[in-house]
Structures are given as structure tokens and as C-alpha cells.
Amino acid sequence: MSYLLLVPILAPLVAAGLAALLGWRRLTAYVTLAAAFAVLLSGAILVHRVESGAVFAVGHLLRADSLTVTMLLVMGTVGTLATWASVGYIDAELRDGHTDRAGAHLYAVLLPLFLAAMALAVVANNIGVMWVAIEATTVATAFLVGHRRTRAAFEAAWKYVVICSVGIALALLGTVLLYFVSLHAGASSAHALDIDTLLNNAAQLDPDVTRLAAGLLLLGYGAKAGLVPFHTWLADAHSQAPAPVSALMSGVLLSVAFASLLRVKSVVDLTLGTGFLRAGLLVVGLLTVLIAASLLVVQTDFKRMLAYSSMENMGLVAIAAAAGTKLAIAALLLHVLAHGIGKSLVFLAAGQLQAAHDSTAISAVTGVLTRSRLVGVAFAVGLAVLIGLPPFAMFASELSIARALAGANLGWVLGATLLLLTIAFASLVRNGSRMLLGPPQPDAPTIALPGTVAAAMVTGIILSLALGLSAGPLTALFQSAATQLGASS
């Protein structure tokens, strides 16, 4: 059973190996889909095993607790939708001449490698290995972002690699400092960076150096999670990447990076108390929501609009983590899952709109609902999820986060956040309704919809509705994750 922890890493690696040998084919595309589904399945099987505490595998190299399983579920769900849609998406790109066989081959290899790196990041027990995995996602996705090989795509890829690598380098420095204090707290060099060792020794860590390390880790993993001050790569990369990759980056990568931050927080809070990272997360979270909301107001490009909506949501997640109560952490995890599925829907729809119009300008696209029922509905449902309309799950998660903020005596934060969320809400509704309902232009192109993209969209819509109506057994999982992360009640 402990070998179950290897599945999320090995399944995508096998798919990547096969794709390296055979190139972009139906077979390799579906093996990648099966690998993503295997990630989801292993997460689902692990749900009950981790309730009573973390399980280990391969000596002490891998570790899974409820947070790990939550992230595997997010990764498996969004990964399944994205790899499914990739089949039709890449075929269409090949047909339209936006990519060639070599480009599709590279895509086929890098997409599963990206999944494997994210899986390693959440199941690693050693926070040094976790860092290596997170940086590996940057390397794996660089050429996915630059997939279209246009000037803008290379520019986005360059900025992405440079800004994320620098940001994440700060997290490495923080990790080195944690290793230093862990050694001084008496840990052996082989286990000094293990999450379980750090949690056990947290009270003995030197507070001054830990404070320095925590600040660096917040900035570093924050860079990868799209938080201020290293957020500037996000809109460029998300808008230039192919739609399924945008869905994975926005829906999974940002939250995997944030999960790393939650791991670090669970250790640092035991050493320094909750005050230090609370202050840091509040500043970073509020600034991120502020910047995202301001840029949403002036946005004229629909893929960038979706990217800034991701930033807005990650800022909100950071604010929820700052509140830090069980209610807040459980709500944050539900928020992350719902956001992942909702973002997949809007990005997949946006990909089809971009392909039809050869443009990502909001002004170029109108009347989507009357022109393609399914693309329109997918975009509408995804947008409704993201702005937190009932019955979708982000309505419940945002309500819980608001209650948690009020309960943690952070009323002023709640007020500021609500104001900014309202601004973002208004912009998304204004642009979304224009695109969906505006009068269609007489010469508007037809919106093509490959079968696999349609299938992924229908699945995403059903999942969004189901998650909104009842989180079911997931509620227990999220609460267990919050308890295991040491959240106060």
C-alpha cells in the first residue's frame, strides 16, 4: 500500500517515456490521460488511509497526509480534464499550422513530466526534494509556455523562467537556513529536512534564523504561487501557454506551490507562533488581491483576465491561510479544488475562442452563447464558479473564509478583501456577459469544438455542479488536513 505513493510520480513518468519514444500520437495522448487519472485514483484510495495520520513510503523519502491527498485530488481532476482536452487541442493546432510534429512531440513529453514534478512536490517528505520538484516544474513548463514559438510566447517563457527561478532560489536559501537550524536542534544530516523531523523538533529551532528562513520561503514559494512581489510572470505565461497548460498552471501549479508554503507554515508556526507568517501572508495576500483587482478593471485580453482572476484567488487563499483557523484552512482547500475545476472550464473555452478568432481581445469575441452552446455554457459555468455564485463551491468557501476572518479578529482585512473582490466581480461580470451575450458580429467565425475538448468540458461542468451541491466525503478530508497542519480551532 505504501507503493501507492509512487503511482502519482511513476505513472506520468511512464507516459513521458512513451511519448519520448513515439512522439505525439493518439496512443501517447491517451496514456497521459490514463496517468492523470491514475493520480486522481491514488488520491481517492488514500483518502481514508491518511485520516489517522501521515503514511510513509520508500523509507522516509515519501510522505502523504490529508494535505497531500487533497493536492493529489486537485492535480488528478484538473490533470484529467487538461490531458483529455489536449488530445483535440493539439490535433487542431497541428491542423492550423500553429505547431509542427516536433512541437507536438515536445508537448507530449513535457506535459506528463510537469505532472510528475508536481506529484513529487506534494509527496516528498524532504523539503529540499520538494524544492527541487517545484523548480523542476519551471523547467518542464518553460517550453510549454513558449509552445506557439511566436515572439510573445518566447517573451513570456523568458520572463517566466527568469522570475520564477530567482523567486524560487530564495526558497532554496530559506531551505538551507532551515537545514542549518534543524542540524543545530540535534537532527541527523540525513533527516534534518524531513517534514516529520522538523515538526518534531520545531520547538528547538533557533527563532532568529528561522524567522529569516520563513521570510525567504514565503517570498520564494509565493513567487511560484503568483503572489506579490514576484507575480509579474503570471499573466504573461498563462496567456501565452496552450489552453490545457494554462488550466494546469492556474488550477494546479499555483496551489501546489501554495501547499508547499502551508507545509513550511506548519513548522514555522510551532517555532515562532502564528503571528510572524500571519503578518507576512496578510501583506502579500492583500497586495496580490489589490493588484489583481486593479488590473482586472482595465483588462482588454480575455486570457490575461483569467490569469489575473487566478492571482486574485491565490491572494484570497493567502489571506485565508493567514487567518489560520481550522475553518479557514478547510475552506481554503475547498476553494483551491473548486478554483481548479472552474479555471479548467474557462481556459478550455478560452482556448477554443482563441483558435476560432485568432485573437484574445475581449472586444473581438461576442455572442458566444448563441454561436456555440457548449463553449458558451462551459465559459459561463466556469466564470460563475470563479466569481463565487451559488450553487457553486466557491460561494461556500468564500463565505467560510469571511467567517474565519471575522472569527480571527481580522475584520479590517475582511472589509478590504470584500471591497476588492467586489471590484474584481464587477469586471469579470462586465467582460464575461459581453463575450457571452453581446450581439454576435455578422462575420463571426464558427467556433470549432473537438470531441475530446467537449467531453472534458461536460465533465468539468458536472463536477462543478456536484462539488457545489455537496462536498461529501471531501469535507472530512479538508478538516483532517487542517487539523494535521496544526490549525487552531
Nearest to 304 by CA among 431, 392, 433, 420: 431
Give the number of other Cβ atoms within 10 Å of residue 410's Cβ.
Answer: 20
Quick one: 227 or 453, whose CB is closer to other proteins? 227
Kindly tell me which of 156 and 320 has the beta carbon lying closer to other proteins.
156
Closest to other proteins by CB, 128 vs 367, is: 128
Residue 358 binds other proteins, judged by CB under 8 A? no
In the bound state with other proteins, the residue whose beta carbon lies nearer, of 54 and 172, is 172
- By CB under 8 A, is residue 132 in contact with other proteins? yes
- Of 240 and 354, CB closest to other proteins: 240
What span, in angstroms and rounded, lies between the C-alpha atoms of 461 and 445? 25
Spatial distance between the Cα atoms of 309 and 322, rounded to a whole number of angstroms: 20
Mask: binding to other proteins, 137-156, rule CB under 8 A, as x and -? -xx--xx--x--xxxx-xxx
| CB-based burial label for 169 (10 Å; 0-12, 13-18, 19+) | middle
Site string for other proteins, 187-206 (x = CB under 8 A): --xx-xx------------x
- Distance between CA atoms of residues 478 and 472, nearest Å: 11
CB-wise, 22 or 162, nearer to other proteins? 162
Under rule CB under 8 A, residue 37 binds other proteins: no
State the number of binding residues for other proteins (CB under 8 A). 54
Q: Does 304 bind other proteins (CB under 8 A)?
A: yes
| Residue from 295, 319, 396, 401 binding other proteins (CB under 8 A) | 295
Tell how strand 62-64 and strand 55-57 pair up. antiparallel
> Residue 183 interacts with other proteins (CB under 8 A)?
yes
Q: Is there a contact between 107 and 242 (Cβ–Cβ < 8 Å)?
A: yes
Least Å distance, CB 99 to other proteins, is 14
Helix (H/G/I), strand (E/B), else coil: 447: coil
Q: How far apart are CA 433 and CA 367, in angstroms?
A: 9
Of 65, 93, 236, 398, which lies in the binding site for other proteins, with binding defined by CB under 8 A? Answer: 236
Pairwise CA distance, residues 171 & 53, whole Å: 27
In the complex, least distance from residue 399 CB atom to other proteins, rounded to whole angstroms: 31
Contact at 8 Å (CB) between 141 and 23? Answer: no
> Going by C-beta distance under 8 Å and a sequence separation of 6 or more, which residues neighbour residue 317?
255, 258, 285, 332, 335, 336
Can you tell me which of 239, 288, 309, 310 binds other proteins, judged by CB under 8 A?
A: 239
The DSSP secondary-structure symbol of 53 reads S
Q: Binding residue for other proteins (CB under 8 A) from 17, 128, 438, 486?
A: 128
Among residues 75, 181, 401, 447, the one that binds other proteins under rule CB under 8 A: 181
Burial of 39 (0-12, 13-18, 19+ CB in 10 A): buried
Binding site for other proteins (CB under 8 A): 126, 128-129, 131-132, 135-136, 138-139, 142-143, 146, 149-152, 154-159, 161-162, 165-166, 169, 172-173, 175-177, 179-181, 183-184, 189-190, 192-193, 206, 208-209, 211-212, 235-236, 239-240, 295, 298-299, 304
